[in-house]
Amino acid sequence: MQFASIGNESVTAYLMSYAIIHNRLSRTVELVWAEFPPMYTKTAAAIWAQLVNNSTKSLNLSDQEQATGYHVAPLRRAYQRFALDCPNLAKTKEGQPKFIRLVHPDVGKIEGKNGFYILDQFEHSPAQLLAATLENHTSCPMMIGWGEYMLAAAQKLGAEYCEKLKTGGPRRVEGYWFSGKIDWQAIVAEGVQKGYLTLEGNCFIPAEIPVPQFVTA
């Protein structure tokens, strides 16, 4: 099995999955998600520290399967850290081995005009999570079944407003970045008016979605 890895001149760790994006403003590669196997707990902590501190040094991310490599810039903001049980490994004297996840602070959060990320995280589809995020963080009327239409409409706007994340690793995730300039209210209004969104929570995705009015200044 070919793995992805991330590290610096001192430490390197294999990755079960990762997601990155080329930040259009800073022109750097930004880490959105990383999942480490249980044996790399301490290394993951060291990598987390470099990502959040005022370091000027990039991390090297290598993907053997895709034969690609990236220089990942420090975010200088606090990544969320999660530990998830790894049921396929036996317990040790320290307890159940755990996957360690580093998650970008803008995943699943909408604050003002800032952009945000959606990741499937193995449980729900990106479309479902997009609908749930819009329901929880905006005043936009929303139903979970509308997610596919909302995602399709955002993608029609182009990469400046919605971009699929580059991902890899044996436990690959799927995710998207969304601009804070998308007018979600306008997308819902258009969808309901045209009959693409129903009050029963269903959606229909037409071959062409008119999108110019779906962007705010």
Going by pLDDT thresholds of 50, 70 and 90, the confidence category of residue 119 is: very high
What does the pLDDT average to over 29-37? 93
What does the pLDDT average to over 13-39? 89
| φ and ψ at residue 36, rounded to 5 degrees | -105, 145
Of the listed ranges 60-64, 87-91, 132-136, the one predicted with least confidence: 87-91
Helices (H), 72-146: 126-137
Instruction: Tell me which residue of 176, 63, 164, 64 sits closest to 116, measured CA to CA.
Output: 176
**pLDDT digit string (tens) for 54-78?**
778 899 999 988 878 999 998 888 8
Residue 104 CB coordination number (10 Å): 26
Q: What was the pLDDT predicted at 93?
A: 60
Query: Residue 16 pLDDT more than 80?
Result: yes
Query: Residue 1 pLDDT more than 60?
Result: no
Residue 206 CB coordination number (10 Å): 12
Dihedral Cα 124, 125, 127, 129, nearest 10 deg: 30
Domain assignments of the chain as residue spans, ordered by start:
1-105, 108-217
Q: pTM above 0.85?
A: yes
Mean of the per-residue pLDDT values of the chain: 87
